[in-house]
Every structure is written in C-alpha cells, then in structure tokens.
Amino acid sequence: MIGTAIVTRANYLVDDEIDLTEALAELNIAIDDMSLEAPFEATAQFTLAADARSVTVPVTCLGLLEVRVDGVKIGAAKGPFSIASDVTGTPSSYYLLGDTLSFYPLNDTACTVDILFSSGYASMTTISESPSIPTRFHQGLVYWLVSQFKSMDDELNASAAYQLKYERYKAGLMFYQANRSVYWITEEE
C-alpha cells in the first residue's frame, strides 16, 4: 500500500487527521528502525575502471558480507592508512569508509566488482510512494503511526498497545528476513 493509504488507515484508528508531512517523517523513522532490526542480504555489481581506486556502495548498505573482484573473493584491508597508494595490480583487499568502497592495490585494468551486503530499506521520499519493506508488513507501519500520534496526544496506554502491535510486525519481518538469503553462485575457490 502507498503511504497515503497507510495514513488513511492510521487516521481511522487515531480518529483525527494526521499531517502528511509529519506522517512521512514518522514512517521513515519506522523504516529506519526496521532496517536496523531486520536487514536483508542484497547484491550489487560495479565496473571499476582502470586506475580507479573506489566505487560508491548503495545508500542502503549497512555492511559488507563479501567482496569479489572478477569473481575472486578478496579480504578486508587493515585500514585506509595501511595502504601504499603507488602500488598497482589486481585488487586483493578492500576497505569501506562511509559509502566509499576502496581497493588495494590500485587496479591496472578495468574489472568487475560484486558485493554481497547487509541492506536496509530505502526511505520514502514522498507520501505517495510505497514503503520499500515487503507489503505484508505495511500494516505494522500503520500501528507505528498510531502509536506515535497517540503518544503525542498523551494517550499513553493506547500508544503502548499500538507499539506492541508494531513490534509484532517488526518481529515477523525479522523472522521473514532471517529465513531468506541471496545465493552467491561462483566458481570454486
């Protein structure tokens, strides 16, 4: 369901009109919470140009699980300060600093980089779009909104009850994601 449909359901339960700007901010807080509690595995592929050191990972990347260069798994470097910047060759290690994934040594030819990473859900940019969490868990976002707005109205018992309903949906999402995985098919190492 799209964000406005989530707000419409929440309006019915709150028995009031929820401001769409406030609703969008609250939905993104819930999506961030779900991202931290129930991340999922995702993959991305990049082309690293010759004489390039780094690529930018997706904004939803919470952490790297595996990095491969031209199909060969490489390990993490000890850190960006342990790297000699003038050495070239096929990258054999990487480090992640912010959203920049850098490689050592500096690659001398173009190569393909594949990453397996722990991913969060993308934030909503408008209330008219659908949240990036699986659809079966959208009702949990309704309960989050109701909980937050009941709390703002000092209806703390009702807020706590809806918070528990949200937590049940979040626990379901955690179970759902824990039992799904991406399969990384590569040649034997």
Binning pLDDT at 50, 70 and 90, where does residue 188 land?
very low
Residue 12 has pLDDT above 70, yes or no: yes
pLDDT at 68: 95
Among all chains, which residue has been given the structure tokens 């054999």?
92
pLDDT at 80: 64
- Percentage of residues in the chain with pLDDT exceeding 70? 91
Tens digit of each residue's pLDDT (9 = 90 or more) over 64-104: 999 999 999 999 987 666 666 677 888 888 989 899 999 88
pTM over 0.85: no
Binning pLDDT at 50, 70 and 90, where does residue 189 land?
very low
Q: At what angle do helices 138-152 and 156-178 cross, to 10 degrees?
A: 160
CB 107 within 8 A of CB 52: yes
Alpha helices in 125-155 (DSSP H): 138-152
Distance of CA 177 to the CA centre of its chain: 12
pLDDT at 84: 65
